[in-house]
Structure formats: C-alpha cells, structure tokens
C-alpha cells in the first residue's frame, strides 16, 4: 500500500479542503478491489462540507482519496476506513 500526503499552500485557492491524503491499496485481483470499494463507500460522512472521500478502482488497486479542511479531519476518517478495511480483508482471507 502506498500513501501520498500533500498539503496545498496556495492561499489563492478558494477551496477550503486544503488537506489531502491518498491511499493506493493493491488486492489479489480486480474483483476484490471492487468488492472492497462497494463495502467501504456507501457510508456517508459526518461533515461533508469539511471532508470528501472518493473511491476508484484501477485494476486490482483501490484508490481512496481524502480531502479535508484539516489533517485531523482526515486522520479520523482514514482510521475508520482502515479499521473497516481490516474486516474486508479478513473476509477475503477466510471466505474467498
């Protein structure tokens, strides 16, 4: 899994979602990557104005992008996704 953290510094940008975090999670195959996306993505975020999370599949890789108003916002959401991801992986491990 690779992680890219970038912080925009330009104050001219009107968007308040100044912080971003990106996960790239490789699965054994594309099917698993799609299942993971479908399992993680339906739950709404508590403060959609302050945080946006987007999911996309690229082959066997699941890409999750967090954009938020603070690194704290992002950390909380990312931790939650990681927790749930463990459950998804355990399901694959035992039942796939």
Partner 1 sequence: MVDMDAFAKPGKPYYLALGMEGSANKLGVGVIKHHLGPLDENNRAEILANVRSTYNAPPGQGFLPRDTARHHRNWVVRLVEKALKDSGVKVSDLDCLCFTQGPGMGAPLQSVVVAARTLSQLWELPLVGVNHCIGHIEMGREITGARNPVVLYVSGGNTQVIAYSRQRYRIFGETLDIAIGNCLDRFARTLHIPNDPSPGYNIEQLARKGKHLVELPYTVKGMDLSMSGILEYVDGLAHDLFSGKKSKYLYDEEDGERITVEDLCFSLQENLFSMLVEITERAMAHVDSNQVLIVGGVGCNERLQEMMGIMAGDRNGSIYATDERFCIDNGIMIAHAGLLAYRVGYGNELEDTVCRQKFRTDEVYVKWRDD
Torsion of CA 71, 78, 18, 6, to 10 degrees: 90
Of 17, 21, 25, 36, which lies in the binding site for partner 1, with binding defined by CB under 8 A? 36
Of 15-23, 32-40, 49-57, 66-74, the window that binds partner 1 (rule: CB under 8 A) is 32-40
Q: Which residues, 48 to 77, sit near partner 1 by CB under 8 A? A: none
**Rounded Cα–Cα distance for residues 44 and 42 (Å):** 6
Q: Which of 22, 24, 35, 69 binds partner 1 (CB under 8 A)?
A: 35
List 65's β-bridge partners, or say none: 22, 54
Residues binding partner 1: number (CB under 8 A): 19
């Amino acid at each position: 899994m690779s992680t890219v953290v970038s912080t925009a510094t330009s104050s001219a940008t009107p968007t308040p979602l100044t912080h971003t975090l990106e996960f790239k999670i490789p699965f054994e195959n594309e099917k698993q990557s799609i299942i993971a996306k479908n399992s993680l993505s339906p739950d709404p975020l508590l403060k959609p104005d302050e945080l946006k999370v987007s999911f996309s599949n690229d082959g066997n890789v699941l890409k999750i992008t967090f954009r938020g108003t603070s690194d704290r916002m992002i950390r909380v959401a990312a931790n939650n996704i990681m927790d749930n991801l463990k459950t998804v992986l355990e399901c694959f491990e035992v039942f796939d």
